[in-house]
Structure 1
Amino acid sequence: MTHLTSMLDTYPKDLGSIDRQKLAECIAACFECAQVCTACGDACLSEDMVAEMAKCIRTDADCADICTTTGRVLSRHTGYDANITRAILLACEVACKACAEECEQHADMHEHCRICAEACRRCETACRELAATLG
């Protein structure tokens, strides 16, 4: 997170009361989760039982898109709107929870689903904790 925290530290305007550490952790968790979900969905496509993995693949794709968008929104602060930030954090938390629950159903058979569920839970927690600091 060196570059991420460096960028936050060099921001020319005051970031307000937002917890910079939690912000940095959440941005990192979002982008990591997006990558892991994308890879998990692709791995699911390679499974012999791909038809049985359709919901997991769809959930991975949705979660990856929402996490990417959340990370991008959290990275912008000019004209910051706390209402938008709260809404996107909630959407990301919900998507990560759904994806984690779906991947956990396959975690015993597919290691990529276990890893994905862990990344989703981490991102879910980071979004919830950051949102709690917004008031």
Structure 2
Amino acid sequence: MKPEIFVLASDAERLENIADRLPASAVDCKNALLDELARADIVEADQLPARVVTMNSSVRFEVSEPREEFCLTLVYPADLNTAPNQISVLTPMGTALLGMAEGNTIEWPRRDGQAVQVRVLEVLSQWNGQACLRAAQ
């Protein structure tokens, strides 16, 4: 069963617009993103729970098979490559991370189709649509 996820209303609107503009060759990516948005609790900034991965959040997570740990910032595709250690929301792992809370795990397909477990270990910073909040808050 997939865990509950939360997405800021402003992020959801922007992500839906991005998905609508994706080429036909990216149908799998588009469908995965739209499916996640459809099951998400869409919230305003003042309703966003702490320690949830939003767009522009820095997150430490691990994947299984092979077990690897990463520390990356979830970004929009247009913002990719402006700084190191970023992951686009349009990648399978990026889509899997969207809206997840610390400690949550989801089974998600990698680019090669192999299913892996993705577990959020720590949300280092969270963008709430208005400001970047450090996880210590």
TM-score (norm 1): 0.33
TM-score (norm 2): 0.33
Which protein is richer in helix relative to its size? 1
